[in-house]
Structure 1
Amino acid sequence: MIRVLVVDDSLFMRKQIEDMLSKDKEIKVIGEAKDGLEAIEKIEKLNPDVVTLDILMPKMDGLQALKEIMKIHPTRVVMVSGADKTEGDIGIKSLEEGAIGFVSKPYGPISPLEIVKDEILLQVKNAAKVDLGKVMSRKRKAKKPGPKVKEEEAKIAVGVGASLGGIRAMEEIIPKIEYYDHAAFFVVQHLPSPFTVSFADRLNKLSNLKVVEAEDKEKIVAGRVYVARGGYKMKLKDKHIELIEEDKEPVIKNTIDTTMESISREFGKNSIGVLLTGMGKDGARGLKRMREKGAFTIAESKESCVVFGMPKSAIEMGAVDEILPNNQIADAIQYLLKEME
């Protein structure tokens, strides 16, 4: 039984979330709190398995509460956030501070949370399975801007996919990559819109490479990192980006596979595929297709994965050339790129 504490300043929202969670036989709501200060008190008293935490609250907001929780009583936290641009930025910061996941809270006059019911349940259940020791915050300082990107055609493609735990995993890899004027990078992180633009902005501030949220029909150029837009599948076609809107479902399906399979078609052996932490199997099939076309493929090892789901599936499928811990993947990519020049 997963014991959950619900934190939201709105009594209506707290009631909705509690009712929703309580209907699932695997979950028991053991308490609620109306602000960050009360949440910290309840966490210390009740020791929940998972906390659902709102961001915009009086007295102490969700982000500050999250920081205090991770200092005083580390707990698995799923942020429940509004979906405007400002909260998208805060949502990314919350993942950096130790939150395991988040749900974009919709707005509406009648039962708005019903729209994301399945996603809330999935996030809570996934969070309960996570090893807390692997999700503690890793703070990184912004780097100085790298060289200006030359508008040259990319000769090599690097595809990187991740899901649960991927924000911090990506921040351990992309910022360590040097500028390369012959390679383009394609990042797929399971995130809803508008969080992907905030994620791209964050990576751009940390990285030597220019990081952007991908645009439909955008020309692919070397020395750039393209982050797949939330709610869309990113394909490569004729050296351009093609964005395909996903079906309106709460569970993201096969977005990494789509990108990696298109990399295999467009770049063949002149590519590198990397699959990081995440629940499920997305990316395994695409990574295998890349390997079959001659690409070198890497899976994150169990020792550094927050959730050893997607990499494990890829390994079992025979899609992986090398299994590495997160802190060795950037060096491996750079070595391979130099060998491919």
Structure 2
Amino acid sequence: MTPYRVLVVDDSGFMRKIVSDLIERDVSFTVVDTAKNGLEAVEKIMKLKPDIVTMDVEMPEMNGLESLKIIMRQYPLPVIMLSGINEEGMRETIMALEAGAFDFIRKPSASSSQDIEAVGEALLRQLHAAVHDSAWGKQKSAAQQPKPGDPAASAASPAADSPPQETAKPPGAADPAASPARTPRPAEPRPKTDAAPPAARPRREDAASPAAPKTPAPAPATPKTGGAASVPAPRPSSTPDKKPASPAAGRPSAAPAFTPAPQTRPEPAPAPARKPAASAPKSEPAAERRPAAGTPAPVSRPLAGGDSIDQIVAVGCSTGGPRALKELLENIPASFPAPIVIVQHMPPKFTHSLAQRLNTLSPLEVVEAQHGMQLRKGTAYIAPGAYHLLIKRTGDGRYMIELSDAPPQNGHKPSVGAMFDSILPLNEVRRHAVIMTGMGSDGAKEMKKLYDSGISTTIAESEETCVVYGMPRSAAELNCVMHLLPLPQIATKLNQVVKS
């Protein structure tokens, strides 16, 4: 097998050498060249056409974020960002993930061989995921299949293998400000999600159904479509008109065009009006966010009068999650009558930057969860890196966040599974569980337990919009997904089920 070709970009010659050596430990990859800044990286990508790029975030002349935006427009391919842990680097890393980067890793400490080894293992895992499990990797594999045969076979194979992809691929060029849209991938069959549903459960939706009329987001603050709320969410084939700036031409990309969401919101006024007052929670002392394990949960914010909680939305995601969360939370209105608790696999400190960024984009109040916070309607809580986020009911009927320092669950900390397990006994409230893009299977078994317990709603992101169709696939294969939906339809469905 021909090794995948990698371009390494970093302004430090020493770091370029370290990263190159880590990559070439695996015979599946070869470093074809290096670049010392973003401008040089763009030039070499156009010339060498590598399969994947590792990109430093902070560089002179042209930084990684600026370079990434050009790459995503002109020659989209998987880009793994290497980020420092300073505030500016973390903020730009989050923006790079929104702009189309496949994922990121923390830059290793040059003085610690143990740290270099740990970063090397994480980098190779991401490289393999990018070339094997992502949209880019599967499209590349499909394109390579007919090459060993003659020209006739080469011409016949795409016709046989990719009709769904060609019919679903939107025409036209991408908006320069948006990252390229992903197209459906025919390489693998979609797992069945409608096998043997219990008679009393809601019907699961088949993402391959014919186009259906678009359904509304029931919230008055964010009307986007017409029709009755009781109509099932539209199928993937009906989604292109939801995000008019999303279409992209050229190479398939795992980076969805999620940035144009504000163009689809007819009434954006509620968000700006709400943000000044909602920014107060961010001034809480950082020390309150990291209690010692077992510390009693303090009451950090009393609930407003009448703001009782009768339902909870729990969302889990991993690779590709920051872009997916942006798309989701931009389309949830400030009047959403439930709290949203979120686990995104991400290291410490980066989750704080993620929450700050999403808070500027969503009508909701978005915060990094703190130990002892009371759940409030219209607020999204993101689990801090290195802590499990659990939901507990107090004796007086309130619902609180508990941050746990327990060992990793399903190989992750925070873990989607740990969060789902914490809402399993809360059958006095309506529970809604969502799994979106990500590697692995975190949360799938726990979603199955919730499904069997009578949870109100289970939603998984369908393959055509996932950066990596791992976690949602695992849940779908357990036959516990009621609604298998492309990303643009998940917010609409949540608005329907929570307000119904």
Please tell me the TM-score bracket, short chain as reference.
over 0.9
1:133-172 equivalences in 2 (<5 Å): 133-140=253-260, 141=262, 143-146=271-274, 151=304, 152-172=307-327
Partner of 2:448: 288
Offset, 1:317: 0.9
Checking the alignment, whether the CA contact within 8 Å between 2:337 and 2:499 is kept in structure 1 is no
| Structure 2 residue matching 1:202: 3-state secondary structure | helix
Alignment partner, residue 383 of structure 2: 228
Point out the structure with the larger strand share. Answer: 1
1:123 to 112, 126, 136: 126
2-structure distance, mates of 1:17, 1:259 = 35
Which of the residues 181, 205, 214 maps onto 2:369? 214
Equivalent positions of 1:10-49 (< 5 A) are 10-49=12-51
Q: 1:116/1:145 Cα in 2 relative to 1: closer, same or farther (>3 Å)?
A: farther
Change (3 A) 1:264 1:179: farther
1:204-228 deviation per Cα after TM superposition (whole angstroms, max 9, x unaligned): 1122221100011222222211111
State the one-letter code of the partner of 2:441: K
- Highest Rg: 1 or 2? 2
Q: Partners in 2 of 1:293 and 1:205 — Cα distance? A: 36
Provide closer, same or farther for how the CA distance between residues 334 and 30 of structure 1 changes in structure 2, counting only shifts above 3 A: same
* SS of the residue 2:424 aligns to: helix
Shift of residue 108, structure 1, vs aligned partner:
4.8
2:463 match: secondary structure: coil
1:13-48 C-alpha deviation (Å, 9 max, x unpaired):
111111111111221111111111111121112111
TM-score (norm 1): 0.92
Alignment RMSD (CA, Å): 2.2
Match for 1:328: what amino acid? Answer: Q
Select 1:197's aligned residue among 349, 352, 363.
352
Offset from partner CA, 1:256-295 (integer Å, 9 cap, x none): 0111111222346611011111111011112112212221
Report the AA paired with residue 89 of structure 2: E
Q: Give me the identity figure in percent.
A: 39
> How far off is 1:306 after superposition?
1.8
Residues 102, 254 of structure 2: 8 Å contact kept: no
Structure 2: gaps (5+ residues):
136-251, 263-267, 279-302, 394-398
Equivalence map 1:170-319=2 (5 Å): 170-180=325-335, 182-238=337-393, 239-245=399-405, 252=412, 255-267=415-427, 270-295=430-455, 296-319=457-480
Q: How many aligned positions are there?
A: 338
| AA in 2 matched with 1:81 | S
Q: CA offsets per residue over residues 285-334 of structure 1, 9 Å max, x none?
A: 12112212221101111122222111111011122111111111111111
Q: Which amino acid aligns with 1:124?
A: L
Tell me, in whole angstroms, the C-alpha distance in 2 between the residues paired with 1:22 and 1:137: 32
SS of corresponding position for 1:158: strand
- What is the CA-CA distance between 1:252 and the residue it aligns to? 3.1
**8 Å Cα contact 1:269-1:293 kept in structure 2:** no
> 1:254, 1:283 within 8 Å by CA — same for their partners in 2?
no
Going from structure 1 to structure 2, the CA distance change for 1:120 and 1:135 (only over 3 Å counts) comes to same
Q: Is the 8 A contact 1:40 1:69 kept in 2?
A: yes
Residue 134 of structure 1 and its aligned partner are, at CA, apart by: 3.7
Alpha-carbon distance between aligned partners in 2 of 1:161 and 1:33, rounded to the nearest angstrom: 36
Letter in 1 for 2:124: L
Counterpart position of 1:5? 7
Separation (CA, whole Å) in 2 of partners of 1:196 and 1:284: 22
TM-score normalized with structure 2 length? 0.64
Q: Answer with 165-174 or 85-94: which moved more.
A: 165-174
2:253 equivalent to 1:92: no
Pairwise CA distance, 1:124: 1.5
Q: Counterpart amino acid of 1:318?
A: N
Query: Which residue does 2:71 correspond to in 1?
Result: 69
- SS of the counterpart of 1:118? helix
Letter in 2 for 1:32: T
Distance in 1, Cα, partners of 2:452 & 2:436: 19
Structure 1 residue runs without a partner (length 5+): none
Distance in structure 2 (CA, Å) of the matches to 1:133 and 1:181? 32
